[in-house]
Amino acid sequence: MGASTLRYCAKLSVFDRGIALSNVVVIAHRGASGERPEHTLESYKLAIEQGTDYIEPDLVMTRDGVLIARHENEIAGTTDVADRPEFATRRRTQVIDGETMTGWFTEDFTLAEIKSLRARERLPELRPKNCAFDRRLEVPTFDEIMQLATDANQSRGNGPRIGVYPETKHPAHFQALGLAQEKPVLDVLERFGYSHEGSPVFSPLTRTICGS
């Protein structure tokens, strides 16, 4: 699994105490994004097959309040929405966290509409081989990602569970729209048995050293 696809993290105590490198936690940042378009089930699945400890989805909201995985809520760069004439009038300009952005935004689409789109490579110059998957893969929901992890856990038997590192994008923006992300994230984690103490959920509040 290439370094470009991963974020390597370890608790500070690992370095402070000189613990072996085997205690380093491997987090697949957006899945195996160097080999599959990021934030697709295929990207997360490949990362799991390659032995990652955690998968990291960036989460945004649809108009009908469903968590989906996209790098940003502006989706022209990660889906084929700009090529879909039925959605041409959805293009608009708005200010998000102090930055003016123009494009198509997840909060203007229902989940059914998002599911009609297809993912595409966000950085084709950097990851040209991923373009072979353009317009072939769906945009996944957080529930679908957690189901993927659950299925992988079952196949592992007594092995360690796949961890998740959910990152909410633009939470203040979504809260102002009445689409707060925090409770839906917790609800999904609870549904899939990841809400109790000791569950492999990586918290941004944990003191870590991380590099992308």
What does the DSSP assignment read for 10-50?
EEHHHHHTT--GGGPEEEEETTTTTTS-SSSHHHHHHHHHT
Which residue among 29, 39, 170, 173 is the active-site one? 29
Among candidate residues 39, 71, 170, 173, the one labeled active-site is 71
Quick one: which of 139, 167, 19, 27 has its CA closest to 79? 139
Task: Give the three-class secondary structure for 108.
Answer: helix
Tokens of 178: 């009445």
Does the annotation mark 71 as catalytic? yes
Contact status, residue 112 vs residue 131, Cβ threshold 8 Å: no
**Catalytic residue at 29?**
yes
Query: Could you give the residue numbers annotated as active site?
Result: 29, 71
